[in-house]
Amino acid sequence: LEVLALNNITEITKLNALKWQAYNLRNFAGKNPAPGKNNIIVTHGFNIKLSFGTAVDEGYCMVLKPEDSELSLADSIGSLAVANQVFEFDNDAFPVNAIARMTPESALLMQTCDEVRSDAIDNQDDLLASIDTDHDMKITKEEFTAADEKSSYSQDAFDFISSVFI
């Protein structure tokens, strides 16, 4: 109930605290992270249920992606009353899509980027790892064309592949 006092909400009830928390969680989750970063929220399952309508068990992980092609929450919802205060959604907060729900057990089975890179480097038969000479898990045009120096079409092939996949 501290959240109510912090926001000068005079009607101190559990329902008002849950509403304010859910609106804040939805607002934060709807914001795009800085380039190369992620927004991380650690909370209880009931907050997830109240904020997004999806129940999760203890220890689960939800991966949410802001859908910035939709109207912002400020434009689509605007504001919501909580007792004597009004919660205003931000212009840079958007609806979210749940793109993954992961059990605690499945998190342990995931390979990290470093593990994938190490496995590729250690595997002498891995064609892509042999082309990726600096082992940064990105094949540049120079690495691609150097791998097939005899072909006069490797630059055109790289340009075509890049236009389709990148």
Closest C-alpha among 75, 83, 90, 69 to residue 26: 90
The first and second tokens of residue 94, run together, are: 């958007």
Encode pLDDT of 77-98 as tens digits.
Answer: 999 998 888 999 999 999 999 8
How far apart, in whole angstroms, are the C-alpha atoms of residue 134 and residue 93? 38
Encode pLDDT of 7-44 as tens digits.
Answer: 777 788 888 888 989 999 999 999 999 988 888 888 88
